[in-house]
Structure 1
Amino acid sequence: MSFIGKNIKKIRGVKGLSQQAFAELFDLKRATLGAYEEGRSEPRIDTIIKIANYFSIPIDDLLTAELTVNALLQFRADLTLEIEVMEKEQFPHIPIITPKNTIDYIKFHDKEKFIKDLPVLQLPIAVEGKLRAYTVQNLEMTQYEKGLYPGDVVIGRQRLLTELTAAGTNDGVLVLALIGNELVLRRMYEVGEQLVFKADHKNIADKTFPKTSLKELWEISSVYFNRLPELGNPLEDKMEFLEREFRKLKDKM
């Protein structure tokens, strides 16, 4: 009898990993991992080896014995041995649209199983409601070397167009919109029965769609910049320091 399914579930519990997070570590689908844990199927030997190596567990123990919490914690006295009393900070699981799955997302955005199989982010954000993350893929929202660049990730809360209209924030709000057969990350404006999406990049033309073609709307609430922020110019800092010192000398004269 193999204990692999029970042990995978035990490892996830001790390490605080969701099924999705664990599956992504080993290039598995969440549904496949669920089948392992429920005993409906077993992983291939190469997957078993990866799991054993990743968590430093002997393969024999992984397959032939039910692992204990104590063993998984590697006998660390500073950690509780009762997983039920461990307090874990919970961050929302945010499905993310990437360059690889964008086309499929446009087709299957309304399929619950497809959404569950998307990769997810876990970030310490306090935004309530249904969330979606999106990897920026172009330079449309850049202006004078500022703005959003490819690789940055925006996070939006799902909204109805009527909600934004009622709040008076529908003009110029940054949104991710699934409209027609496109995903558009731009500033949105209502013009009669049309929605106009404007890029921050001055050389990119507007996109206009009828309101009736809007399928999903996500109001962007936060951004993960996939690069270091501007930390200041050393030369400017030195000039500012010299100016301060000069003012001090002038005041003493």
Structure 2
Amino acid sequence: MSFFGKNIKKIRGVKSLSQQAFADLFDLKRGTLGAYEEGRSEPKIETIIKVANYFSISIDDLLTSELTVNQLLRFNDNITLDPEDLEKEHFATVPCITAKNYQDYIAHFDNEFFVKDMPSLSLPINTEKTFRGFTVNNLEMTSHDKGFYPKDIVIGELVPNKVIQKLNNGTVAFALINDHIILRRLYTTENGIVLRADHKNIDDIKVTLKEIKQLWRVRYVFFRRVPELTDSFEDKLALIEAQLKAIKNHDSL
């Protein structure tokens, strides 16, 4: 069996031709062309020659190997590239909870049609796992000018309820509980979890596993602001200590 059927189908994609339009070019019936593409029938030699000449492709290439898009573009400059025919890396689509859809998400979080219609991010992360984006809306996870600020976006990986208590204490997560979505650090207890803020003077929230409708472990973060790139106080202190140590060692020589 030749590669003729696969190749004419790829040519159609690159040229943006329907089966009927392609068939009309070579005085073929649409059903006949479909049979060629599906490998149910082989073309006459006259048809092969017509197709090869029309697209400036050698008969040998047309019949004996599966053509690539790059080959087709080199064969004939008049063939236009159909973006759908390109091999693309598939990114994960991450629905994002925003200030505008916050309440709607709480009401319809388990409705797949609502979730598909949410604004989303396309990210090069594991496409086999389920992720959700959440736009930070308060200062509960800030401490000494560090942490998450309003309009930062955290990306969470869905954690099954039976796995929640196996998470490490201090894991940052956001959970849908009753009519709120809460972003905090998670600490496990015998009967449930404690959600603790990084900001001072904010009380812990204790919940049972039954109260948790969804919980997402934070895996990635998009900061709205540019992080401070200057040396921290701790880094500067360590540098001073290293310099003092070097001076002492020099004096002892």
**Which range, TM-score by smaller chain?**
0.5 to 0.7
Displacement of 1:92 = 1.0
Q: Secondary structure at the match of 1:204?
A: coil
Which residue does 1:179 correspond to in 2? 177
Which residue does 2:186 correspond to in 1? 188
In the aligned structure 1, how far is the partner of 2:162 from the partner of 2:219?
18
Cα distance change of structure 1 residues 90 and 200 upon mapping to structure 2, 3 Å threshold: same
1:179 maps to a residue whose letter is I
In the aligned structure 2, how far is the partner of 1:201 from the partner of 1:84?
48
Which residue does 1:123 correspond to in 2? 123
Which residue does 2:152 correspond to in 1? 152
In the aligned structure 2, how far is the partner of 1:156 from the partner of 1:139?
18
Matches within 5 A, 1:189-228: 189-228=187-226
In the aligned structure 2, how far is the partner of 1:205 from the partner of 1:84?
52
In the aligned structure 1, how far is the partner of 2:84 from the partner of 2:117?
28
Equivalent residues of 1:189, 1:196 under 8 A apart: yes
In the aligned structure 2, how far is the partner of 1:127 from the partner of 1:203?
39
1:143 aligned to 2:143? yes
Cα distance change of structure 1 residues 138 and 107 upon mapping to structure 2, 3 Å threshold: same
Which residue does 2:51 correspond to in 1? none
Which residue does 1:28 correspond to in 2? none
Displacement of 1:128 = 4.2
Displacement of 1:81 = 1.7
Gaps of 5+ in 1: 1-12, 15-76
Q: Quick check: which has more Rg, 1 or 2? A: 2
TM-score, normalised via structure 2 length: 0.58
Cα distance change of structure 1 residues 225 and 120 upon mapping to structure 2, 3 Å threshold: same
Q: Secondary structure at the match of 2:165?
A: helix
Displacement of 1:206 = 0.9
Displacement of 1:121 = 0.7
Identity of aligned residues (%): 43
Equivalent residues of 2:165, 2:192 under 8 A apart: no
2:110 maps to a residue whose letter is D
TM-score, normalised via structure 1 length: 0.58
Root-mean-square deviation over aligned CA pairs? 3.5
The number of equivalent residue pairs is 172
